[in-house]
Amino acid sequence: MRDHGGNLDGAIARFGGHAGDWVDLSTGINRRPWPVPEGLPAEAWRALPTRTALRRLSDAARAAYGTGAAVLPVAGAQAAIQLIPRMTRPGLARVLSPTYNEHAAALAAAGWRVEEVTASDDLPGADLAVIVNPNNPDGRVLPPRQILQLAGRVGRLVVDESFADPHPACSVAARAGEAGMLVLRSFGKFYGLAGLRLGFALGAEHDIARLADMAGPWPVSGPAIAVGSAALADRDWAERMRRTLAEDAARLDDLAAGAGWHLVGGTSLFRLYRVPDAGATQQRLARGHVWSRIFPWSDDLIRLGLPGPEHEWQRLVAAMNAM
């Protein structure tokens, strides 16, 4: 089932209010976004993106992610997830699960035989294997050494690092392209600008060239190029944000513990808790106009992103106290 967070319109239909009344914690998108400067260059809106501008964005991503691999900007990591299954003839794909459900869905839609496995030791032998690292929704992290060992034991290894920005030590971006490994990065989650629809595929030159042919001549917009290039170069903001998010994650864990919730895992962009009844907990929070994420495959797990401004924290505290 392709269920997702961010479905705030559904919450509003059920529990009332307007979008501005709600704190949407159903995604792992940073609610302390990178400050987009006013007045983007007019050419970003009026002209088709040039190869020079796309190259500048790719260079910024290459530097930010610490890689010498070829880089393709795409309209969010989701765009790459949908393209990769079509790179080669379908075969056997294995996805380390439970995880972000679009990987298995996109592979199945392209004709792959998909096996969802629960241990990394079950991945070898697949024509294509997928690891989300850190994992969504439980934050499980496979060490880079283990991932690199797996890369040589599958036909192609896709490592989705959409939540890796706060945790750079877990990244294998520096080794993208080796043994057919493709690494995906999301811009919108850490930088809090998901509406920009920007992400990157990192890999060997021939793989990235194939993806570029499939994506077409203008894979991302002019505004995405302008904002992405500037944000990725802002290393001071990124370092400060990593510290802030780690502090916020600890604050959320303290609130959850006080409510009797048990921490299962997470990253510095979201936390996963075990509660007696996930559906009932989500509904109680929703009555306080706080939206959360639950899962069709579990009746006792709930995931929350991190509030941003202080008024969002206070809204969450009030909703939890009313439970």
In angstroms, rounded to a whole number, what is the distance separating the alpha carbons of residues 91 and 85?
10
Please list, in sequence order, all residues whose beta carbon lies within 8 angstroms of the beta carbon of residue 233, skipping any fewer than 6 positions away.
60, 63, 64
The pLDDT of residue 323: 76
Task: Return the H-helix or E-strand segment holding 286.
Answer: helix 278-287
Q: And the tokens for 289?
A: 């106009």
Over residues 35-60, the pLDDT tens digits come to 999 989 999 999 999 999 999 999 99
Q: Does the predicted TM-score (pTM) go above 0.75?
A: yes
- Judged against a pLDDT cut of 60, whether residue 1 lies above it is answered with no
Q: Are 192 and 9 in contact (CB under 8 A)?
A: no
Q: Is 150 helix (H, G, I), strand (E, B) or coil?
A: helix
Transcribe 119-146 into DSSP letters: SGGG-TT-SEEEEESS-TTT-----HHH
How many residues does the structure list for the chain?
323
Q: And the tokens for 302?
A: 């709930």
Report the pLDDT averaged over residues 260-280.
98
Ramachandran region, residue 174 (left: φ > 0; alpha: ψ -120 to 50; beta: rest): alpha
- Amino acid (1-letter code) at residue 303: R
Over residues 62-72, the pLDDT tens digits come to 999 999 999 99
Q: Are 282 and 294 in contact (CB under 8 A)?
A: yes
Domains and CATH numbers, the chain: 8-33+236-322 (3.90.1150.10), 42-233 (3.40.640.10)
Report the pLDDT averaged over residues 247-268.
98
Nearest alpha-carbon partner for 306 in 100, 34, 28, 99: 28
Q: Are 303 and 137 in contact (CB under 8 A)?
A: yes
Strands 262-266 and 199-203: unpaired
- Judged against a pLDDT cut of 70, whether residue 5 lies above it is answered with yes
The pLDDT of residue 6: 85
